[in-house]
Every structure is written in C-alpha cells, then in structure tokens.
Structure 1
Amino acid sequence: MSFRAAALTLLLFISSVPAAAQSKELRIGVDRRVELIAIIFKLAGSDEFNRTNLPQYSADIEQFFGPQRNHEAVTLARGLRDRYGVAQSRVMAIPIRLSDPPQLKERVPFDSVSGWPAPPAEIRRFVEAARRFAIQARASEFFASHRTLYDSVNGRIRPPLERAVDLAWFAPYFGIKSDQIFVVVPLLVASEGNYGPCMQPPAERRECYSIVGNTRPDSTGYPHYDAGMAGLLVHEFGHGFVNPLGNAHRAEFERSAPRVHALVAASMDLQSYPWPSMVNESLDRATEARYILAHGDSDRLRAFYHDLLRGSWFWVEELSNLYGQYEADRATYPTFSTFMPRIIAYFDSLPDRVPAMQARYDALRPKIVSLSIANGSDSVDPGLQELVVRFDRPVRDDGWSVLPVLGPSGPTPESQQRVPKFTWRAVDSTRVPFALGKGLDSASTTFRYGLTLEPGREYELQLGTPHGYGFRNVADGVPLAPYRLRFKTRAANASLKP
C-alpha cells in the first residue's frame, strides 16, 4: 500500500444486511469508462494513477497504450490537470457522465454540473479526443484481453459488500427520496485514492459511485477484497450526499475553512485535501460516525475517533455530536440541507478553537528523550552504523517512523537524496530488514536503526508524519509529533577537535 493510500484505510465493523435487500440499489463491477479515462490520465503523468498494487496490469497498460503517450487526448488531459486542477475525484467525475467507450456520449451535460473546475467546452474537447483515443488505440481489444482479470475482481468484491453495507440507511438520514443507485467500481489502473462522485441522469435514478483503488493481490495474483472494505464504501457513499451540500455552501464555508486549514495544513496537504475538500471530508466523516453509532458499535466508534485525531481531524467528534441535534429534531430539520446553517455556524467557531484542540492532543503525544545523533551536529562520525531513539513511554513503530522529510505531496527527490541509507530496525537483538511501511510487532521505549553514512555529507530525515503515522503510544495510539533530524558527517580526513 502506498504511503498516502495507507492513510485512507478504514477498518469498520458493519452490521450485515441481506443481499436480497441490496440487489436493486447496488451495482458492482469493473467499469471500462473509468479504466479508459484513468489510463489516459496515467499516460499524462498524473501521479495518483501511477501507483499500483498490480504491476503486471500496469506493465500491460504501458506496453499496449504507451505508444499513444503523445495522443491529443493525453495532451488535453495534462492541460486539464495543469490549468484547471482536474485531478483525483475530478477525473473520476468525467467517466460516470459518459456512455461506454468508444462512443462516450454525454449522459449528463457537463455544463449542468455545479462547481465544475474546467469550462464545459474544454471537457467536451477532451471527451471528443478520448473517443478517438479509444478507437485508435484499440482500447476494446485491451479490455477484452483482460476479461479474466475483470471477471475475477468482480467475483471477489461482490459477496462481502453485498452482505456488509446498509445502504438503506443513507436516504432517510439525509431526508431525501430513496431514488439512488449505488455503484461500486474497482479501479484497476491505480491503488491510489478512493472516490465518491454522484450524478443525476435525466429521467433516471441518481447514481452514486464508490470508485476504489486496487488492493494488494493474494497468492493467485488477483486483488483481495473482504468485509473490511465496507467501511471505505460507507465513506465513499457518504460523499455522494454531503459533497453537493458542501459545494452549494462554499461561499459561507470560505469565511472560516481556509483559516482552519492553515492550522492543520501539513496533515491536510499530505492527505491531498485543500480547504473545500477538508470541509466535505469533515461532513462525511461525521456522517460515518453517525452510521457507526446507529449500527451499535460503540467500541469501533471510539477507535474511529482516535484515528481521526491522528490525522488532525480534531473537530469531527464535536461535529458528529452536533448531528445528534439534527437527528433529535427532524420536525425542525426535515432534511440535512435545512440543518446546514447550524453546521456553517459551527465551522465559523473553529478558527479560534482549533489551537486549543491541538494543544490538548499534543499533550498526549509520546516524547523523544534522547537521540544517539545530536540534532544539528556538524561532526558526526561517518563510521557510525546505528541510530538509537529513546522515548518517555512504550511506543510501536508502524513502519512509517523513519523516512525522508515530507513535503505537501510526500517526499521530494531532494529529500530522498538527503536521507541516510537505513538497513535494519530492531527493539532488541532481533533485527529485521528496513522497509518503509513494514513495522515491528514489539513495543519498546528504545528503537535502533542500522544505517550507512558517507563522509562530509549533510543528512536530513523525519521521525513520524503530520497525519499520524510512525511511532505511536501503545496505550492509545497517539502518534509522535513529526520530528526533523539534521546532521552532517565529518570529512574523511577530519579529526575530532580536542
């Protein structure tokens, strides 16, 4: 699992619902429209469509479609991304409005979509080029040659989801008619991201999608899906209800949300959430909390809130409690839309209150007692082969504890060059090979890391991440605040000063 994708993993217990009750509301399967548009943006260099847990499928895409990298559709996709910010969920909002390839006819006009980031004419120009791409690149042949993979994925993902998700909960909760079809689409092009766009075809039922990145394959080479995905599905379907409300009130949220975002920018940037997305995510995560509560799992709800705090969502539990007032007075608030002024007022209160929320959480974090390499030292012995980190309490290393310094989108090439070469990690005499994302089972107050240094070099690394990964308290999972370590090794011919 990629670094940012790991942050999106949700493990929620969901009460079982009979499959028969879901059949009219739930469609599940690989979607050629989604695969095609994702392939075009992959060729355009979009980072989110170039991470995968299916390397063979990715290699097949490169071999089959690579010669089309200079196609007009790819060039236009790159322009949509660079000029208008069409990325991630905005990319996935394109194919669901189209018919199957190669026709790709508009089922819903792009000029009918509120808040669309690019001019409709630019989107239509891209879609026209995508039609030509589908024909000229022989996309139908590629899809046909991978039918076995698609059928296997469809057969694997359907049973656990049909048993696990209570789709009937959503429409009554938001006070709207139950006229929606939920569509789960396994995205095989990429592992990165999970998207929940909705759209309303003329004279048809509203369609809400959960487009989920590919998972790690099992021993057969096919992606593995289980009931743990149900929590992710609840999250993405919730977006179909809250995003239109958040977008419709963007002007009101703009009074406060950018200031809230600035207070937690390091964490939100790594999760790819600018302030409008942060608002919609807040609305959705509070909805998830109410869903978990409604399905009677108080233990899971506490764990859910703990996970949110690690990611700097300090206000979501309060927001969820505010939703309780909506639930208790449906006579005054027959729909969630009528409750939005209360939510906007709550956000207006946050800029002055979030710092105190942060301070309370920071007081719970583990603290570094000592490091075997002094921060800022310019005379570290290049022959040193071990970094020792000591804490004030027992913690666990989840695999993201020692890493390059992170920028808004993750480690940069420059930061990767400055990080030492780590070779192993250990809490006792048992060493395990060092690999990002692979932690240690044992907890301790002292962790040791093997490393290789060179003379006369500047090094920089980071302990922990802004969005809650790395070293965590054993008792409650509260993470270490990100700690940046800088040092320089002595030159090969330098001697220690007396």
Structure 2
Amino acid sequence: MVCLGCECYTRLLQLLVYMIRGLIMRGKKVISFFLGTMMCFLVGCTSSNTIEVEENKTLSKDFNNINIMIDPRIELLSVIFYLSPTYNNETSSIIPEDISYKKDVEKYFKEYKDHKAVKMFELMYKEGFAYDAPPTSMLFLTNTPVLKIKENIDKDDYMYTQCMERAGGEDRFIRFIEELNKFCEESNFYDFYNKHIDYYNKILDNTIKGLKDVDYISQMEEYYGKKQNSYNIILSGMLYANNYGPRIKDTSGNFDIYSIQGSFDIEDDLPKFDDEEFFKYLVRHEFGHSFVNPVTTDNIDTVNKYENLYTPIESEMKKQAYSNWDTSLNEHIVRAVVIRMTEINDGKNEAEKYIDKERKSSFIYIDDIVNLLKDEYEPNRDKYSTFEDFYPNILKLLDDLSKK
C-alpha cells in the first residue's frame, strides 16, 4: 500500500471523477487523454511525496512494565527456520506438535522451500550465524514486509558488531535482508501475518491470564541498581524451547532489552508460555544478560587472563552452546544472580533447586559467585550502588580461583 498524502489523494479522486464524466459526455476518444493526464499526475505526486509501505504491526500488551508481544520479524524468521531442513533438524527450534498454525505455515509457504532467502540462511548458519544471532539481528530491522536496518541503531555497540561478524559481515547481512524482502513480496507474508492476528492475540491473552501479578522488573532493577529503556518479551507461534536475551542500543545510548521465548508445551492448539516458574526464571535469566554481559565486555582484557578456568568445563559448556570463556562466565554470573534473587523473593527452598541444577550442569564456579553476591554485594549496597561497581570483586574471585 502507498500513502500519497491527503492533498494528493483528494486530487486523484477529483481527476477520476472528471475522467468518468468525460467518458460519458464525449465517448471513448478521451480515454487516452485522461490516462495520460493521470500518469503525469501520479509521477508528479509520487516524486514530491515519500512512498510508504504499510508495515505489519507488532502486537503488544503491557504486563507489569513488560511489553509482551508477537513480532512479525520473528514470525518471518521462524518461517525461514521451518523451511530450512539443516537448521531445523540440528537445533530442534520448531515446535514438534502439528498445531494448526504450523500446518498453515506448511500449506502457505511450502512452495518457497527452495527460495534464495532459505538457501542463503542455510549457508550462513553453517558458517556461524546460529543460536541467538539470527533472532537478535532481526531486531535491528524495521517490520515486514520491507525490512531495512533502522536508522537509530548504534552500529558500534558490541551486540550489533557481533551479529554482523557472525553473519559474515554487514554487506552479506544486507544481501540476506534483500532476499528476505523478496521472500516477503513473492509469498505475500504481509497477508499471512495479518490473517493470523486473532491467533496471535489469543497467545498473548492466554499467557498474561496465566501469570501471577508480580513486578519482576522492579526486583531486577533493585538488584542490579540500574534501569533499562524498555523490557520486551517476544513470544513465537513456532519457536520451541529456545530462549535468547539480547539488548538493542540506539544512537541516543538507550537500551531496549528483550527475551525471545519459544514455547514449552501446547494446550488447546496454542503454544504455552504461562508456567509461572518457567516464566519468572526466564525473565530473570534472559533480561539478566543485558545487565551482566556489557560489564564483562568492558572488562574483557582482564576476564581473558583467567581463561584457564574454562579448561575443566570446556567440553560440557560447548554441549550447551557456551563455546568460549567469556560466554561461560556470563552464564555463571547470570545464574548466580537468579539464584540470589530467587532466595530473596521466593525462599531458600526454591533457590536450592536452582543451584543444584546448575551444579549438575557443570557450572562449577556457581557456589563461589553465589556466596560472593550474598556475603559482599548484598550487605554493602551503600558501597556498590550498581552491579557494575561490584564487578571488580568478581575479577578478584577469578584471580583467586585461577591460582588454585
């Protein structure tokens, strides 16, 4: 759809009325005259007014300072995942049950399995564009059906530079966007998304209805001593058991943080996201990365001095997609904070379940970090107003562990 502006639109209607009257009064000889006039009018009008393509709308509902949403960019990506046999088979990223939405995707898009966008994604995936990189990269873009990098994205931020590196460079990523736009146009993704608006709203309503009225964001901001610009949870009708926590920085220095969540079950033909324990853990965990990871990045030279700590856990960490030391460290810290927040807000028994799980998952430094938070950070918040102020203590702990 195009927007020509109110004035141009009025002039166009007037011209159409004049043409019809002329045809009635003078006969068919005037057709060429009026068509020529219309072409001149349209060329002149569109040359002086920006043509805007109507976007698919993000569906969003507020829940205790969290925007819970369905995002057309992530829905498009999940279709590409579904059509990509290598990615889907190796990551189990698509919901296994044959829900009606999945059947609709198959029926609507099956003829595009060999589309260049799918083939290009497969190649990029094999070369490292995997896990959190594809969904995070979509958040740098405008909505479907015409994707382009937003003008206010801070391209110097580590999240953007990492994603571009894993995509094979910004130029390659832009070529991928171009293929996605062709996919949207040729398949009419715009229409597919809009026809499922009611389905998406049911997912949102059912999720919010099943959650407790708890302000997890205030709990996190109090613990980390910092606020973010916005908190956003993206639910997907197709993604399964994969969850990511990126943050997007704009040119004003603001951070919008996200938790992109796959479902964990099906009920009444709808993906489920409303298990309270599952929900609060993911909020605390995925949003926690946006508080922790940047501080680690700011101290990366010092962090890397203790890379020997990765050696005893490397094999098990790589099985969980934590393929380097700083990623593993961030997971340790975020999980330790979740444990402490759980004990503070939900009780010691709940926290013990989490810490036992992390020990069994080879997070062998979890007890040391938990104890450091409990014994030094929490009793001395007058000294450490933010988690960033406290981070040198974690570096000191790494030094001690490394010497051992």
C-alpha deviation, 1:299, in angstroms: 1.1
CA distance in 2, matches of 1:234, 1:349: 28
SS at match of 2:349: helix
C-alpha deviation, 1:235, in angstroms: 1.2
- Unaligned segments of structure 2, at least 5 residues: 1-61
Aligned twin of 1:396: none
Does the alignment pair 1:239 with 2:283? no
Does the alignment pair 1:223 with 2:271? yes
Does the alignment pair 1:112 with 2:156? yes
CA distance in 2, matches of 1:139, 1:315: 47
C-alpha deviation, 1:171, in angstroms: 2.5
- Give the helix-richer structure, 1 or 2: 2
CA distance in 1, matches of 2:132, 2:286: 11
SS at match of 2:162: coil
Identical amino acids, percent of aligned pairs: 22
**Could you tell me the TM-score, scaled by structure 1's length?**
0.61
SS at match of 1:97: coil
SS at match of 1:164: coil
Larger radius of gyration: 2
Aligned twin of 2:139: 96
Aligned twin of 1:139: 189
CA distance in 2, matches of 1:329, 1:195: 31
Does the alignment pair 1:262 with 2:311? yes
CA distance in 2, matches of 1:286, 1:122: 38
- Give the strand-richer structure, 1 or 2: 1
Aligned twin of 2:83: 43
Contact 1:111 1:120 survives alignment (8 Å): no
Cα distance change on mapping 1:126 and 1:349 into 2, 3 Å? farther
CA distance in 2, matches of 1:248, 1:203: 19
**Could you tell me the TM-score, scaled by structure 2's length?**
0.74
CA distance in 2, matches of 1:160, 1:152: 12
C-alpha deviation, 1:200, in angstroms: 2.4
CA distance in 1, matches of 2:317, 2:176: 30
Contact 2:73 2:139 survives alignment (8 Å): yes
CA distance in 2, matches of 1:164, 1:94: 30
C-alpha deviation, 1:54, in angstroms: 3.7
SS at match of 2:143: coil
Q: 2:240 aligns with which of 173, 191, 212?
A: 191
Structure 2 counterparts to residues 334-349 of structure 1, below 5 A: 334-349=385-400
SS at match of 1:223: strand
C-alpha deviation, 1:93, in angstroms: 0.9
Matched pairs, number: 328
C-alpha deviation, 1:129, in angstroms: 2.2
Aligned twin of 1:456: none
Structure 2 counterparts to residues 22-171 of structure 1, below 5 A: 23=63, 25-44=65-84, 45-46=86-87, 47-48=90-91, 50-56=93-99, 57-83=101-127, 85-107=128-150, 108-109=152-153, 111-114=155-158, 115-117=161-163, 118=165, 119-161=169-211, 163-171=213-221
For 2:378, the aligned partner's letter is E
Aligned residues: CA RMSD: 2.5
Cα distance change on mapping 1:241 and 1:75 into 2, 3 Å? same
Structure 2 counterparts to residues 426-437 of structure 1, below 5 A: none
Contact 2:66 2:230 survives alignment (8 Å): yes
Aligned twin of 2:381: 330
Contact 1:242 1:284 survives alignment (8 Å): yes
- Unaligned segments of structure 1, at least 5 residues: 1-21, 354-498
C-alpha deviation, 1:170, in angstroms: 2.0
SS at match of 1:29: strand
